[in-house]
Amino acid sequence: MASPTPDIDALLRSMTLEEKISLLAGKNFWETVDLPAKGVPSFKMSDGPNGARGAALHNGPTAACFPASTSLASTWDVELARQIGNALAEEARTKGARALLGPTVCPHRHPLGGRNFESFSEDPLLAGKMAVGYINGLQEKGVAATIKHFAANEQETSRFTVDAIVSERALREIYLRPFEIAIKEANPWAVMTAYNSLNGVHADMNEFLLQRVLRGQWGWKGMVMSDWGGTNSTIESLRAGTDLEMPGPTKWRASAAVSAAVKEGKLSAEVIEQRARNVLDLLVKLKSFEDPSIPPEQSVNKPEHRALIRSAGARGIVLLKNENGILPLRKERLAKNKVALLGLAKEALIHGGGSASVNAHYRITPEEGLKAAFGDVEFVYSKGAHTFRQLPPFSKEVADADGTPGWTMESFKTTDTSGPADSITSCEDPTYIPIFVNDAWQVIRATGIFTPTVSGSHYLALTGLGPSELCIDGVQVYSQDGNCADSMAFILGGIKETTVRHHFVAGRSYTIQVRTVASSPEGGFALLEEKIGLRLGFMREQDHNADLLSDAVAAAKDADVALVFTGHPPDWETEGQDQASFHLPADGSQDRLVDAVAGANPNTVVVNCTGVAVAMPWIHKVRAVLQAWFPGQEAGNAIADVLVGRVNPEGRLPVSFPRRLEDAPAHGNFPGSEAADGHPPTVRYEEGVFVGYRHYDRGERERNTVLFPFGHGLSYTTFDISDVEVQKVDRESFDVSAHVKNTGRVAGAEVVQLYAGRLDSALDTPRPVKELKAFAKVRLAPGEAKQVVLNISRRDLAYFKEEEGVWVVEAGSYRLSICRSVADVAGSKTIVIDQPGSYKP
């Protein structure tokens, strides 16, 4: 029943210590604790950055899938981010949620970062400004944004235990900066801590992050929650400022343990009251006291959301190369009226793997989008390359104990399996994925009678959360002796499997049996300690080793245009692990496909769907390249809109594309060293502030290591940027203006980028040559021109001086550059700062 918003001070006075403590951990996986006797409601949260998935990690009610964050950042459109935030708030409501676990703003430190696609950019200003739009869009609709992961969470390798060693200058200028921008300009109602440690202290109990910076210097007053399973202590986490341990029920904040700490003087009652106050304040912001209901989850497929996703997905696509204007595709240029669709044309790569994935309302493949856009053209399809990472579940030609298709699954509550099982069920395949429930099973045994129809040395792959074995006709053919190397990757579908081969004869029956036991508590993802999980994959030798390339080359030869769709399926780019390679998966198969097709058809166009920069060793052989990212559920339509010219590409790169992985600034310091001698794994941010383009821009040699620079993107029209001028507004700021004109034949959008750099930086304080300080997106009709004015302040020219703990503006000359990309300067002016100055953090 609804009730008026209470006086929080009075409510806290009425509560016992134990009641206050109970509010500081989740009730279950997605909800906070309620106290009916005190009129305190609970609220529900939902993943994630690009869609409100709801409670189920797999196969729950369908939801709208929006473009991933790198796709959204490629629009350089803060207003579009706000519109997507509005729509995500509406989506969250359909799942009964009042808080969305996003946005992710950690800068891209390295191209192999496993969750880069969830975050916006390598540049802290672009990331922060896009987050501002996203957060405002969510919260003006009454849904809390949860900005994450605070802080220095730039890798997945050893993410639960790794210690990120980062200088304070790099922290302030790069890794904390997008959080600072979003905190100060949009005031997100919640912050999520990271799994990793920062300079020796876990993020959830890091007083420098949570007390000194977030609540102190930035003056933020919202609620801090841990990442799921990311609380690492009782006293230290509470004292540092983590208000809410998630998920529930609690592991660290049992009432008896916390009460005892208070009574023993190890923790003050004031700390508990402040943590509880922050939880209650969020309930007030969410209007949960007025309406405490948590409605059941629904699938609401809104036309306006579909249109927004299609538009945003297309506007985020970056045209990297367009030799001789091969794009947009025109029917009148097709002599044979035939287009080859190759590679991943039948797959809709709409999101990365992990907690950002959703069970989308629908998925439009590139093939479907192009057929709708180019209906009377003959399309010829060929896959051309193997891209699987995991073998498909073993589900065909197998019978259970009753002779029906499937497997017999036996579950035991003890490790003694000599007697009857505690549970016997039939299942389609030997897969058991725990969804964070308190399973009682200690052993699972799955048995199937396999009668192959094709002879061959077929492939099998077994993975368990705990020790597991695979037997064929009673003989062990594979064993996993310890816990799964990455339990979260196992859950999320991106685990690297070990495959074995066994010769099978068609028509003969084989008894296949797998056995797994619960994992031991040896660290890793705390939520999966002592859980049980199992997966058995299978693939025929003929399918595994099939020659797909020859058919694709033949199709390309006979077509006017060859469209090759490349990318990362979600098991290759996923939460839980960093990228396996800078090259497209698997084992060079996609690179070989592009290379061979380009050799067969001079009109080869590549459309790449990844959330990160990838190697393009074939770039000089193809006519055009589109970087489509993960554009959401309308992927195929958005891609087709750009290919045929319905949408003029306006995306600009939010990350640099290096030529080689060795050219990346963090190369050699990513993902760091393994645990040794009792010390946790460590990653050292030795590149300091020289992340992304700040590194590549330092000299001619470095520029030659860049395939496509930060901010780059082509259009089907042309723009002229001229008349760059600087005017001093007051003592603290300057206006930089430029004249922008569409000099082409179609309407389009240009992104005007303002960079600044000190011309005579002191040798003992190395400064980047250029840093992004402001940007604006300008849409112009053919022949139309506009004056663009961007503001820059003295403080924007500062660097963080560690010795004094302040932001310092040095006296001297600074170059202000209006650019089309960081490497394409349209015009520059020099300003002189006469008086040095400093600013408190």
Q: Which residues of 455-485 are buried (b: 16+ CB within 10 A; e: fewer)?
A: ebebbbbbbbbbbbbbbbeeeeebebeebbe
CA 98 to chain centre: 21
Return d(Cα 295, Cα 527) in angstroms, integer.
27
Return d(Cα 217, Cα 221) in angstroms, integer.
11
Q: What are phi and psi of 609, to 5 degrees?
A: -115, 90
Q: Which residue, among 577, 695, 574, has the nearest Cα to 109 in the 3D structure?
A: 695
Q: Which residue, among 364, 329, 373, has the nearest Cα to 346 in the 3D structure?
A: 364
Q: What are phi and psi of 62, to 5 degrees?
A: -65, 155
Residue 227 annotated as catalytic = yes
Q: Which two tokens stand for residue 528?
A: 């999966």
Give DSSP secondary structure letters for 558-600.
Answer: TSSEEEEEEE--TTTSBTTS--S-SSPTTTTHHHHHHHHHHHH
Return d(Cα 425, Cα 409) in angstroms, integer.
5
Pairing verdict, β 407-412 and 443-450: antiparallel
Contacts of 221 (CB under 8 A, 6+ apart): 215, 278, 281
Return d(Cα 104, Cα 120) in angstroms, integer.
7
Question: Quick one: which H or E segment has residue 148?
Answer: strand 144-150
Q: Tell me whether residue 620 is exposed, middle or buried, using C-beta atoms within 10 angstroms of its C-beta: 0 to 12, 13 to 18, 19 or more.
A: exposed
Pairing verdict, β 407-412 and 398-399: unpaired
Q: Using the 8-state DSSP alphabet, how is residue 396 labeled?
A: S
Q: Which residue, among 350, 355, 377, has the nearest Cα to 366 in the 3D structure?
A: 350
Q: Which residue, among 465, 466, 421, 415, has the nearest Cα to 446 in the 3D structure?
A: 421
Q: Which residue, among 552, 581, 450, 446, has the nearest Cα to 503 in the 3D structure?
A: 450
What are the Cα distances from residue 360, in Å, to 192, 248, 292, 352, 809? Answer: 25, 27, 28, 13, 49
What is the rounded (10 degree) CA torsion for 80, 86, 92, 97? Answer: 130
Peptide bond into 766 cis (omega under 30): no
What is the rounded (10 degree) CA torsion for 208, 210, 215, 217? Answer: 30
Of 47, 77, 227, 663, which is the active-site residue?
Answer: 227
Return d(Cα 108, Cα 87) in angstroms, integer.
26
Q: Which residue, among 159, 271, 284, has the nearest Cα to 577 in the 3D structure?
A: 159
- Bridge partners, 736 (sequence order): 726, 790
Contacts of 36 (CB under 8 A, 6+ apart): none
* ∠ CA 597-598-602, rounded to 5°: 120
Long-range CB contacts (< 8 A, 24+ apart) of 5-13? 5/284, 5/287, 5/289, 5/290, 6/39, 6/289, 8/277, 8/280, 8/281, 8/284, 11/38, 11/39, 11/40, 11/280, 12/273, 12/276, 12/277, 12/280
Q: Using the 8-state DSSP alphabet, how is residue 356 labeled?
A: T
Q: Which two tokens stand for residue 94?
A: 């359909």
Return d(Cα 593, Cα 580) in angstroms, integer.
19
Return d(Cα 183, Cα 372) in angstroms, integer.
43
Active site residues: 227
